[in-house]
Structure 1
Amino acid sequence: MQTTTLSFANLHNHGELFANLFRARRQSFIVQNNWDLPEAMGMEYDQYDTPASRWVAVHDGAEILAGIRLTPTTARCGIYSYMIRDAQRHLLESIPADLLDYEAPISDTIWESSRVFVSHTTPMNIRRRVHAYLIMEMTRSARELGAAEVLGLIPANWPRWAGRCGLKAKAAGRVMDFDGHPSQVVSIDLRDNMH
């Protein structure tokens, strides 16, 4: 099992891994969750998949086991910034505007995590380890990018595993239901463990 943080600058070094991550996202979000999201060539994508973002992959060779997207809160692409802020600004119909308890920040030291998933093909007996690898690589990459905090719209069961993964996390919004998938914005404080 490996972890790789992909960017537009390094994706050429990783063969099909980048495309496979988007294929796995399609399987998770469009096929499994039945969400109405953009897709092309068997891959799911949206307006936040730009050169400003990074993509964390847990993989076995070219097979994707799990993934997360990281986007700086300073990102801009046309009218869009990052998912949580754009929902708050009423730019996204599928996410309630009251998802965050305060005004969505814009800061060089705050990044957003989104599109969090574990592949449906990942065996149950290794899912906990895959999830731990995903969180460790996400926090490592976020710190390397200068993040002191990560905001994420993630599954609402986060209190069950946050401590196990060594995360200092707290709720930053209400629990919302997305077609039977309870989710919540969470703030992950990376300052205590920064080197």
Structure 2
Amino acid sequence: MEATTLSFDNIHNHGTLFAEMFRARHRTFIQHNGWDLPQADGMEFDQYDTPASRWVAVHEGGEVLAGVRLTPTIHRCGIYSYMIRDAQRGLLETIPDDLLNFAAPVDPLIWESSRVFVAEAVPASDRLRVQMQLIHEMVVSARALGAQQLLGIIPEHAPRLARRVGLDCLPAGPVIGAGGMRSVCVTISMQTRLH
């Protein structure tokens, strides 16, 4: 099992991994969760998949097992910035605007973590190991990008898992219903040491 951080600068070094990650997102978010998201050629994408973002993929034998997108909170593309801020600004119909207890930051030291998934095909006996690999690579990549904090939307009970592995993960808003799931915005400090 490997973890790779992809960018527009390095996708040519990783064969079909970038496309396979978008296909895995399609299977997770559109086929399994039933979300109405943009798609083409069996791949899910949205307005936040720009050259400013980075994508962490956990993969084995060409199959993407898990992934996450990292986007700088200072990025803008047309009317869009990043998912949490745009939801708070009322630009997204599927995520409530009261998801954060404070104004969504625009700060070079804070990045957003979004589109987090572990593929349904990952057996229960391997899920924790895959999640740990994803979290580890996400933190390593975020730190390398200069992030001191991540802001993300995760399932409401996921902060407990994050704390178990040593992440300083704190709820930053109320539990919300989005996409048929109960989720919460969190801040994740990049200053803590992983177990």
Question: What range describes the TM-score normalised by the shorter chain of this pair?
Answer: over 0.9
1-structure distance, mates of 2:115, 2:13: 23
SS state of the match for residue 106, structure 2? coil
Determine if contact 2:159/2:171 at 8 Å carries over to the other structure: no
2-structure distance, mates of 1:132, 1:165: 8
Deviations 1:4-58 (A, max 9, x none): 0000000000001000000000000000000000000100000000000000000
1:72-83 mapped onto 2 (5 Å cutoff)? 72-83=72-83
Deviations 1:49-100 (A, max 9, x none): 0000000000003100000000000111000000000000001011000001
Superposed CA RMSD: 1.2
* Structure 2 gap segments, 5+ residues each: none
1:39-78 mapped onto 2 (5 Å cutoff)? 39-78=39-78
2-structure distance, mates of 1:176, 1:10: 36
Percent of residue pairs identical: 60
Who is 2:139 aligned against? 139
Give TM-score, length-normalised by structure 1.
0.97
Counterpart of 2:164, as a letter, is R
Determine if contact 1:2/1:61 at 8 Å carries over to the other structure: no
Regions of 4+ moved over 2 Å: 191-194
1:10-159 mapped onto 2 (5 Å cutoff)? 10-159=10-159
Deviation at 1:193, TM superposition (A): 4.4
Deviation at 1:179, TM superposition (A): 4.2
Counterpart of 1:167, as a letter, is L
1-structure distance, mates of 2:179, 2:144: 35
Determine if contact 2:167/2:193 at 8 Å carries over to the other structure: no
Who is 2:172 aligned against? 172
SS state of the match for residue 164, structure 2? coil
Counterpart of 2:181, as a letter, is H
Deviation at 1:166, TM superposition (A): 1.2
2-structure distance, mates of 1:54, 1:70: 5
Deviation at 1:176, TM superposition (A): 1.0
Deviations 1:91-141 (A, max 9, x none): 101100000100000011000000000001111111000001101100110
Determine if contact 1:136/1:165 at 8 Å carries over to the other structure: no
Counterpart of 1:153, as a letter, is I
Residue 193 and residue 119 in structure 1: after superposition, are their counterparts in 2 closer, same or farther (change >3 A)? same
Determine if contact 2:114/2:152 at 8 Å carries over to the other structure: yes
Deviation at 1:155, TM superposition (A): 1.1
Give TM-score, length-normalised by structure 2.
0.97
SS state of the match for residue 163, structure 1? helix
2-structure distance, mates of 1:174, 1:113: 18
Q: How many residues align?
A: 194
Determine if contact 2:166/2:192 at 8 Å carries over to the other structure: no
Moved more, 129-138 or 150-159: 150-159
